[in-house]
């Protein structure tokens, strides 16, 4: 009898973990649109909700999000979304800002390569690093 209860608990925990992953994806589904629209209040609200519901900080899910092949900060720079871009840079751990992204380029190298050094977001990145 005890073995059945333990097995049921393990199966239930596995089912919940898969369900929670799907919910995180749903919770972050429109984050690219929010960043592109430069809606700082909505982005802050979304980040707080994900942190409260799933105990995930920006650094935990940042690398898993791609907006048309770009990271969230890159998307903000390309969309000239200064407020959301600055918020993302300030919320990211410094080590993650220095790390290469999915294409192997660091954020600073990508900024220089794309000629975006004059962007206010680039200034915030440089100040953080």
| Paired tokens of 8 | 């049921």
pLDDT on residue 16: 43
pLDDT on residue 22: 53
Q: Which candidate, 46, 22, 50, places its Cα nearest to that of 32? A: 46
| Paired tokens of 90 | 């300030």
- Vertex 97, ends 124 and 110: CA angle to 5°? 80
How far is C-alpha 20 from the geometric centre of its chain's CA atoms?
Answer: 17
10 band by pLDDT with thresholds 50, 70 and 90? very low
| Paired tokens of 51 | 């942190």
A 10 A CB-CB count for 40 gives 18
| Paired tokens of 50 | 């994900």
- Tell me: the pLDDT tens digits for 38-91? 999 999 998 898 888 888 888 888 888 888 888 888 899 999 999 999 999 998
- Tell me: the pLDDT tens digits for 15-38? 444 444 457 777 777 888 888 999
Across the chain, mean pLDDT equals: 79
Under 8 Å between Cβ of 74 and 100: no
pLDDT on residue 28: 79
pLDDT on residue 87: 92
Quick one: 39 exposed, middle or buried, by C-beta within 10 A (0-12, 13-18, 19+)? Answer: middle
């Amino acid at each position: 009898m005890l073995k059945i209860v333990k097995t049921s608990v393990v199966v239930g925990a596995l089912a919940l973990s898969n369900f929670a992953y799907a919910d995180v994806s749903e919770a972050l589904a429109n984050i690219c649109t929010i960043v592109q629209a430069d809606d700082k209040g909505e982005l802050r609200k979304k980040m707080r909700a994900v942190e409260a519901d799933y105990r995930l900080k920006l650094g935990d899910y940042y690398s898993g999000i791609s907006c048309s092949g770009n990271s969230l900060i890159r998307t903000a720079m390309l969309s000239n979304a200064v407020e959301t871009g600055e918020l993302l840079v300030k919320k990211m751990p410094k080590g993650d800002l220095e790390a290469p992204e999915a294409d192997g380029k660091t954020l600073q190298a990508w900024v220089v390569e794309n000629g975006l050094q004059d962007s206010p977001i680039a200034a915030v990145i440089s100040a953080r690093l």
